[in-house]
Amino acid sequence: MAKIIAVANQKGGVGKTTTSINLAASMAATRRRVLLIDLDPQGNSTMGSGVDKYQVSHTAYDLLVDEVPASEVIQTETSGKYHLIAANGDVTAAEIKLMEVFAREIRLRTALEAVRDQYDYIFIDCPPSLNLLTVNALAAADAVVIPMQCEYYALEGLTALMDTIEKLARLVNPKLAIEGILRTMYDPRNRLANDVSDQLKNHFGDKVYRTVIPRNVRLAEAPSFGAPAMYYDKSSAGAKAYLALAGEMLRRSESAQITALETE
Ligand code: ADP
Ligand code: MG
């Protein structure tokens, strides 16, 4: 049964899409069965997975609004050995249409039930806002990964996001957990970044991934080649960092399982 992870932060440009694509590819490279869901109407995860958002026959819109079965919406051909539910501008309309439908917050969760046992990990790339699409992602997810840049206002945004996650969890998804906070586009020569990073660790402890994603031009270039960084330049620092992150996530979930067994 897949673990469903939402990659969320209401701020734009913090690395949600880069993380979604490269983590999905890295997990798939460890032979896990992976589905990536693009919920951002910009369709960047779609294009970055080598799928043309202007040519797709189905998107998350069909899944959420028209209740087309997930099996029909999933694209199995991507550049990253994972499956994809695509997004494009149509998904903007989904956000509006969803307002009118029954059980609008749990559409995604319901839609994924039928395919959940076919995957080990399902990642959801969220739009840069706390709209109904993000609410659907958080309602469907077991856990949230929060990518963030270590800059001055980042902690403020993070507190707001944590509050929202908690409120939402109370309403529609009591089991939702913070999987981890990921430092992205990190430049260790920047003193402010180091300060913010220290504050993060003080405040959130183990929730902060040890793996740090460095600022790396290969990560920024790869999407224009329609591929995850590991298939564009596998020796790049960016590709290696996301492989390390996948390893850290797997180790964490394994040790959590062992702890659960020990306490049974
Ligand atoms: P979001 O999805 O949160 O809006 P993106 O993943 O699209 O953020 O990243 C924003 C921009 O920063 C993109 O142009 C992306 O290529 C670039 N970028 C993301 N992560 C890195 C990184 N670690 N190093 C260099 N550029 C990055
Ligand atoms: Mg994005």
- If one counts the domains in the chain, the total is 1
How many percent of the chain have pLDDT more than 90? 84
- Enter the tokens of residue 70: 């997930």
Judge whether 183 and 148 are in contact, CB under 8 Å.
yes
Helix 16-29 vs helix 237-263: crossing angle, to nearest 10 = 70
Over the stretch 18-65, which tens digit does the pLDDT of each residue have? 999 999 999 999 999 999 999 999 999 999 999 999 999 999 999 999
The structure tokens listed for 61 are 């819109």
Determine the length of the chain.
264
**133/168: higher pLDDT:** 133
CATH of the domain at 101: 3.40.50.300
User: Quick one: which ligand is closest to 238's CA?
Assistant: 1
User: What range defines the domain where residue 154 resides?
Assistant: 3-263
**What pLDDT score does 264 carry?**
66
pLDDT digits (tens, 9 = 90+) for 110-156: 999 999 999 999 999 999 998 999 999 999 999 999 999 999 888 88
Mean predicted confidence (pLDDT) in 176-198: 95
**3-state SS, residue 36:** strand
Range in 55-59, 131-135, 157-161, 198-202 the model is least confident about: 157-161
Ligand 1 pocket test, candidate residues 9, 11, 14, 18, most atoms within 8 A of CB: 18
